[in-house]
Amino acid sequence: MKRLLASLMLGSAAIAIAATANAETLRWARAGDSLTLDPHAQNEGPTHTLAHQIYEPLLHRDMAGQIVPALATEWAPTEDPSVWRFKLREGVTFHDGAPFTASDVVFSLNRAMMPDSDMKELLASVKEVTAVDDLTVDITTDGPNPILPSNLTNLFIMDEDWSKSNGVEKPQDFEGGEETFAVRNANGTGAYMLAERAPDSKTVLKQNPNYWGKGEFPLEVTEIVFTPVQNAATRVAALLSGEVDFIQDVPVQDLGRVEAADGLVVRTAPQNRTIFFGINVGDADLKSDNVDGKNPFADKRVREAMNMALNRDAIRQVVMRGQSQPTGVIMPPFVNGWTEALDAVPPTDVAKAKELMAEAGYGDGFSVTLNCPNDRYINDEAICQAAVGMLGQIGIKVALDAKPKAQHFPLINNLETDFYMLGWGVPTFDSEYIFNFLVHTKGEKYGSWNGTRYSNPELDKMIEGLASETDLAKRDAMIAEIWSTVQGETIYLPLHHQVLNWGMKTAIDFPVQPEDQPHFKYLTYAK
C-alpha cells in the first residue's frame, strides 16, 4: 500500500509542475550533478546538496553554518556520558505520508554504518543505536564522544518501511557500479519532493505540502529545476540570458561579466574546503609510472620536492584569478586544529627541489599519471594542467587524465590511482573528520578516502582516541600531534582553500553558506 501511495504521489507531482512553473520556480545550475540519490552511498558535496532538499538529518547546519534542530529538537548526554539522547520532532511525515518515528532513525544510522556506506567514519565511535520510545533515540558510543552531534549533520534519515519494501536496506555500492531503487527514487521528510530525475540532465523538485517546517522557514521556492552544466561558458551564458536564476559556481574568469550584468549579483565567501593532491606512498611499485620495481613516491624527498615545485601563488593569480587562498595544510581555517603555522604556504624552490630529486636517485626524473576531475572543483582541470608544467620543471613528466567526478572518485576509493586531485570540506568543523577519512589506515570503519595507502598503526590509535577524549585541552594537543606527523610525512600536497562565488538574480536574497550547501527552504525574494 505504501509503495502504491508513493507511486501515486510521484505521478501527481509530475502533473503539478506545469501549475507552478511560472510562480516561485527556482532554476538552478552547477557544474556537476549529484552522484546518486542514495543518501548514504557517497560523502560528496553536490550529492549532499541535492539530498538536503529531499531528506533531513537529526541536526542541520543553517545558512550561517550553525547547528540547529532538524528531525531532533533536543539532544544531550544522559547520566551515562557514553550515551547521547535525542528527542525527535512530533508530527513529521515522509513524502509518501508515512509517519516518522524512532525506528526510522535506528534503521538509517545502522544503514549508514554498513560497509558500502561512504558515511561510516562519522559513526565509527557508535556501538549501538536504540529506540527508547517512538520519539526518543539513544546513541551509545565507545566512551564519551563530546562532538557526536557535529557528526550527524549530513546523516540523512530514510523511511525504514519504504527502504525494506523497495529492497534498499543496504547502501548502494557506488564504487562497484551497483544500481538500486534508491539511486533514482527518494522518500524523505524534507521541504521538497522528487518529481523528476534524469541523471546528468535535469532534476525537478516540488515543495512538500505537508512539510513540518511551514511557518518556521520562508519556503518561498515552490519548485526547483536543477540542471547540471559542466561547461563553464555555457553555465554563465544561461545565467546571463535568464535561462537560470542561480548558479553555484561562477567561473573566476567570468566574475566581472556577471557582476556587471543588469539584474545579477555575485555573492562571495570563503569556503570550508581545501584542494590538494594525494600521492600513493604505500605501494611497493606504481602502476602508472615508468620506474620498474620501485615507487618514487615512497621516498619522502621526492614528495618534498613535489611540494616545493608547486607554485601556489601562480595558481592563485593565473588560474584562480585571485579567488583562492594558498595553503600548506589540507585543513580549512574554519576547523578546530587549524593554526597559522600549519597554514603557512611552502616556498616555491625549483632548484632545491631538483637537488632533492637527485638525492633520491631521480635526477633524470620519471613519468606518472595525474588523475583529475573536470566537473567538481573550481577550475579543477586547469589547476591540474598548471601543476603538470610545474612538476615538469623538476623532471616529473605528468600525463594528465581528467574525467567527470563520477568516474574520478571511484579511482580513489578503489585504490586505482597513484596521483590524484581531491577537495575536502569539513562539515563537523573538527580535525577528527579529516583524520578519520584521509589519514587513518584504510579499512572497514576508517580511511575510505585515503587513497595514499599511508598506514601508521600508532597514529591510528591516536586518531581513534579523539572520539572519546573529553578533556578538550588534551584532545587539542592530540590533534596538534597528529597534524605534526601528517605534515612531516608529506602524504598530501595542499594547494588552496576555495572561495565560493554564487551568482544569482538580484531579486534573490540568499547568503553564501560556508559548506557550499544552498538550503533553498531559506531562500527569499525581494518584495
Q: Dump pLDDT digits (tens) for 121-132.
A: 999 999 999 999
Report residue 185 as a C-alpha cell. 527514487
Each domain of the chain, given as residue ranges in start order, spans 2-228, 271-499
CB burial of residue 15 (10 Å; 0-12, 13-18, 19+)? exposed
Question: Which CATH number does the domain 271-499 belong to among 3.10.105.10, 1.10.3720.10, 3.40.50.920, 3.40.50.300?
Answer: 3.10.105.10
pLDDT at 527: 75
389 CB-near residues (< 8 Å, 6+ apart): none
Q: Dump pLDDT digits (tens) for 264-302.
A: 999 999 999 999 999 999 999 999 999 999 999 999 999
Mean pLDDT of 37-64: 97
Fold classification of 2-228 (topology level) = D-Maltodextrin-Binding Protein; domain 2 (3.40.190)
Task: For Cα atoms 27, 324, 153, give the angle at the middle one, nearest 5 degrees.
Answer: 55
pLDDT at 22: 40
- In whole numbers, what is the pLDDT of the chain averaged over residues? 94
86 touches 137 (CB < 8 A) = yes
195 touches 225 (CB < 8 A) = no
Total-model pTM: 0.91
Mean pLDDT of 354-371: 98
pLDDT at 1: 37
Rounded Cα–Cα distance for residues 230 and 247 (Å) = 12
- Residue 231's beta-bridge partner residues? none
Residue among 267, 344, 353 at smallest CA distance from 310:
353
Q: Dump pLDDT digits (tens) for 236-265.
A: 999 999 999 999 999 999 999 999 999 999
Rounded Cα–Cα distance for residues 205 and 222 (Å) = 9
Q: Dump pLDDT digits (tens) for 374-430.
A: 999 999 999 999 999 999 999 999 999 999 999 999 999 999 999 999 999 999 999
31 touches 229 (CB < 8 A) = yes
pLDDT at 23: 58
Rounded Cα–Cα distance for residues 404 and 235 (Å) = 16
Task: Please tell me what DSSP assigns to residue 439.
Answer: I
Residue 8 has pLDDT above 50, yes or no: no
Residue 58 has pLDDT above 50, yes or no: yes
Confidence of residue 2 (pLDDT cuts 50, 70, 90): very low
Rounded Cα–Cα distance for residues 508 and 515 (Å) = 19
Percent of all residues in the chain with a pLDDT value above 90, rounded to a whole number? 95
pLDDT at 140: 98
Q: Dump pLDDT digits (tens) for 471-511.
A: 999 999 999 999 999 999 999 999 999 999 999 999 999 99
Residue 18 has pLDDT above 60, yes or no: no
Mean pLDDT of 85-111: 98
Residue 333 has pLDDT above 60, yes or no: yes
pLDDT at 475: 97
Residue 195 has pLDDT above 60, yes or no: yes
